[in-house]
């Protein structure tokens, strides 16, 4: 095969994987900017600690900026939008901290919930995710999820 044919096949494969990864059924969760107009009910009740550690305060700010539009205030989820992160499915022994980083960077194909696929989170850094995870883990501990 010629060089252009190889490049064309490579592009087709990459596009096919991208199409598969985002799902061809149109069930991807809308980006945060589109979801903010929706006012959905929280899925779980979340007990918020009276005081948060310094890293957790930073994590809350990052969470509110990057995650809350879909996953709701205090990671309680939003009915019909996105799951709660304060839930036993996301306990550290099932979804380790690295799973949150991979989800934010790459998106996630729906597998535990029926909300559709999660798209990558634009503009989130590894440091942001580390602080967000600290916040989510503190909320989880306050709600008996260890």
Quick check: 21 pLDDT over 70?
A: no
> Which residues, in sequence order, are CB contacts of 19 under 8 Å at separation 6+?
none
Maximum Cα–Cα distance across the chain: 66
Work out the pLDDT band at 38, boundaries 50, 70, 90.
Answer: low
DSSP label at residue 75: G
Count the helix, strand and coil residues of the chain and give each as a percent rounded to the nearest 5.
50, 5, 45
Query: Euclidean distance between the first and final Cα of the chain, in Å?
Result: 56
Of 59, 141, 72, nearest to 100 (Cα)?
A: 59
Tokens at residue 82, please?
């996105």
pLDDT, tens digit, 9 for 90 and up, residues 121-133: 999 999 999 999 9
pLDDT reported for residue 66: 97
pLDDT, tens digit, 9 for 90 and up, residues 62-121: 999 999 999 999 999 999 999 999 999 999 999 999 999 999 999 999 999 999 999 999
pTM of the model: 0.73
């Amino acid at each position: 095969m010629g060089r252009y044919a190889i490049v064309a096949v490579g592009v087709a494969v990459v596009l096919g994987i991208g199409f598969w990864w985002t799902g061809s059924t149109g069930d991807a969760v809308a980006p945060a900017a589109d979801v903010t107009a929706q006012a959905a009910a929280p899925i779980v009740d979340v007990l918020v600690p009276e005081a948060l550690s310094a890293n957790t305060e930073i994590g809350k700010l990052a969470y509110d900026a990057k995650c809350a539009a879909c996953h709701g205030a205090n990671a309680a989820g939003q009915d019909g939008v996105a799951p709660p992160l304060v839930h036993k499915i996301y306990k550290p022994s099932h979804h380790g901290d690295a799973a949150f980083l991979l989800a934010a960077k790459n998106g996630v194909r729906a597998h535990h919930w029926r909300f559709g696929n999660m798209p990558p989170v634009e503009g989130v850094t590894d440091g942001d995710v580390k602080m967000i995870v600290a916040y989510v883990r503190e909320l989880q501990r306050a709600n008996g999820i260890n």
